[in-house]
Structure 1
Amino acid sequence: MRAWGRAEVVVRMRAGERTVLRSFPQDNYGDAWNRRFGGGDDSFDVLELRAAASLRRSPALPAVLGKLEVPQAKDEVRGRYFGLRMSGINGRKMDMGRVDETVTRGTAETWTVRNEDGVPHNFHVHDVQFRVLEVDGRPPEGTLRGAKDTVFVPGGSTVKLAMRFDGPADPDTPYMYHCHLLYHEDRGMMGQFVVVEKGQRAGSPGGGGGTGDHAGH
C-alpha cells in the first residue's frame, strides 16, 4: 500500500484493548446507482489496533502536534478553475501529448474545483499537498483541515484548494491531476501540468507519461 502524504494520529488505548477503524456509508455519495455500484453504501474495516498486555506510560501530549506546512489563500499568485465531469476536466479528455496547465516553481495558487455532474469524484493532484480553504463557500470541517493530496467532491459541490509547487521543474515532464476513481480516470478524467522555472515555457511531453506517484496512468 502506498501512503500519500503524512499524518499525525494519536490514539489513547488501554492494555489489552482492541480498536477498529471502520469505514461507513456516506450520505453525500449521489443517487442509488452510485451508492450501490460506486461503493457509497459499503462498510468495511480499514485497520485494527491491538494494545499489548502491558503498556508503558506515554508522555503528555504537546499543545500543538505539528505545523501545517501548506499555503493559505493570501499566499496565492493566481487561481485556476477545474470543472469535473465524466466527459473530462474543463471539457477535455486526457491527452498524454498535451500540457493543460503551466505553473511556476515556488509559487502558490488557489485551485477551484467544481463537480459539474451528479457523480461523486475524488480530485487528486500529483507533486503537492494542499490546504482545503472552502467547501461550498464554508470553512472545511475538522477532517479536512490537515494537509491533503486528495479531496472528495460530491455532485454539485465546489472546493477551493491552496497549494505551493516546490517539486522538481521540468517543462517536458508533466505532473497529473485527476479523479482518483479508477473507472473515471480511465474514461479520461485527467489532465497534465508542468512545473517550470520563472520565465520558462511549457515544453512538449510527447505522450511518454508523467511524473508523480503513479505515472503509469
Structure 2
Amino acid sequence: MTFDGAKLDHGHKLMRNVGFLGDRTMVNGTLDPYATVQDELVRLRLLNASTARVYTFGFDDGRAFRQIASDGGLLEAPHTTSRLRLSPGERAEIVIRMQPGERRILRSHPLDAGLDFWNQRFGGGDDSFDVMQLRAAPTLRPSAELPGALVASALPTGEDPSRSRFFELKMSGINGRKMDMSRVDETVTRGTTETWTLRNDDGMPHNFHVHDVQFRILEINGAAPPPPLRGPKDTVFVPSGSTVRIALRFDGPADPDTPYMYHCHLLYHEDKGMMGQFVVVDPGRPAAAPKPPPTSGSHQH
C-alpha cells in the first residue's frame, strides 16, 4: 500500500518556517490507531518522529499523567502534568491510570511556546487533533502506585567545564556555516565535560540534537529547566528569542576519523544546512582530515 505524503501530518503548506505540515498523523505506521488496555497503569513511550511538527500531548478529558523518562532514560522522580511538549526527535515516557471500560484519547493541543502570530499559525501551533485512542478492557489487572524516586542522575553538572562553546542557530547555518562534509567544526577531548550555549534569534523555531551523548539542560533563558527537561536529553526545543545552556560529558570511544553530528532536527532546516560535525579525540590528539564525499558519478556499496 502506498500513501500520498501530502495527506500526512496535520497543518498548512504556505508561509511555513518549520517545513512541510500535512493533514494526517500516523502512530507506528497506522492511521486512526487505538490500543486495547488490560492494566490499570499504562506506560506509553512517545517519540516525535514528525519532520516539522511540535506536539503538545495531553488527554481529551484533561486528566493528569506522570512523566517518568525523557530522551535518554528515567527522570529522578515521576513528574505529574497534563501537558507534554515534544519537538521533532524528542522522546518521553508517560504513565496514565485507566478505569475499566473507559476510552481515552491522546491528543495534541495548541502549542504554548511564545511564538509570534505567523510562526504560531503557519507552524501548526494553533492545531489540535487526536493522536490515538486507549480502550480499557471491562476488567483491568491491578497496578501498584509508581515509586516516589526513580533513578539518581549521572548527568554532568556543568561545574568546572574543560571548555565552553557557543552555537548560534540560524536557517542559514550554525555559527554562520552551512554543513560541509569536508569540514570538522569542533574537536572534543574524550573524558572531558563541556558546556554549550545555544542561541536562537532567527525569528523561527529550531531545536538542537547532539549525537554521541546525553546532556543535562542547565538553564533556559537563565532559569533552571522545568522538571520534564531535567532528565537525560539529546534534543532540546529552542524557540526564537531563547538561550539554552547544556552540559555534556564525552565518555564514548575516541575516533579522530569519524565525526559525530549536531543539527536542528526539523528536517527542512537540517536539509538547508543547519548541521555541523565534531570529532572526539584522545587527550593531545588532533582531528583527522575528513574524507571527501563521493564525487558525482561514483558508486559505493
- TM-score normalized by structure 2? 0.63
Q: Find the counterpart in structure 2 of residue 83 from structure 1.
A: 168
Measure, in 1, the Cα distance between the counterparts of 2:126 and 2:207: 16
Q: Find the counterpart in structure 2 of residue 135 from structure 1.
A: 220
Decide whether aligned partners of structure 1 residues 206 and 39 sit closer, same or farther in structure 2, where only a CA change above 3 A counts: farther
Measure, in 2, the Cα distance between the counterparts of 1:48 and 1:106: 45
Cα pair 1:81 1:113 within 8 Å, conserved: yes
Measure, in 2, the Cα distance between the counterparts of 1:45 and 1:29: 23
Cα pair 2:109 2:129 within 8 Å, conserved: yes
Cα pair 1:70 1:131 within 8 Å, conserved: yes
- CA shift, 1:176, in A, is 0.6
Moved more, 108-117 or 37-46: 37-46
- CA shift, 1:8, in A, is 4.8
Q: Find the counterpart in structure 1 of residue 115 from structure 2.
A: 30
Decide whether aligned partners of structure 1 residues 58 and 104 sit closer, same or farther in structure 2, where only a CA change above 3 A counts: same
- CA shift, 1:137, in A, is 0.3
Cα pair 2:72 2:231 within 8 Å, conserved: no
More strand by share: 2
Q: Find the counterpart in structure 2 of residue 206 from structure 1.
A: 291
Measure, in 2, the Cα distance between the counterparts of 1:123 and 1:193: 14
1:1-217 mapped onto 2 (5 Å cutoff): 5-6=72-73, 7-28=92-113, 30-74=115-159, 76-208=161-293
Decide whether aligned partners of structure 1 residues 202 and 28 sit closer, same or farther in structure 2, where only a CA change above 3 A counts: same
Secondary structure of the residue that 2:104 maps to in structure 1? strand
Decide whether aligned partners of structure 1 residues 47 and 142 sit closer, same or farther in structure 2, where only a CA change above 3 A counts: farther
Secondary structure of the residue that 1:52 maps to in structure 2? strand
Measure, in 1, the Cα distance between the counterparts of 2:105 and 2:194: 38
Decide whether aligned partners of structure 1 residues 166 and 57 sit closer, same or farther in structure 2, where only a CA change above 3 A counts: same
- Structure 2: runs of 5+ lacking an equivalent: 1-27, 29-45, 48-70, 74-91, 295-301
Cα pair 1:100 1:192 within 8 Å, conserved: yes
Measure, in 2, the Cα distance between the counterparts of 1:38 and 1:169: 39
Measure, in 2, the Cα distance between the counterparts of 1:71 and 1:49: 38
Moved more, 165-174 or 148-157: 165-174
Measure, in 2, the Cα distance between the counterparts of 1:69 and 1:9: 21
- Structure 1: runs of 5+ lacking an equivalent: 210-217
Query: What do the CA deviations read for 1:24-61 (whole angstroms, capped 9, x no partner)?
Result: 22232633332233332232334443333322222343
- TM-score normalized by structure 1? 0.86
Superposed CA RMSD in Å reads: 2.2
- For these two proteins, the number of residue pairs brought into alignment is 209
Query: What do the CA deviations read for 1:152-184 (whole angstroms, capped 9, x no partner)?
Result: 111111000111112222111111111111111
> Which AA in structure 2 matches 1:158?
T
> Which AA in structure 1 matches 2:116?
D
The percent identity for this pair of structures is 67
Measure, in 1, the Cα distance between the counterparts of 2:248 and 2:146: 29
Secondary structure of the residue that 2:261 maps to in structure 1? strand
Q: Find the counterpart in structure 2 of residue 215 from structure 1.
A: none
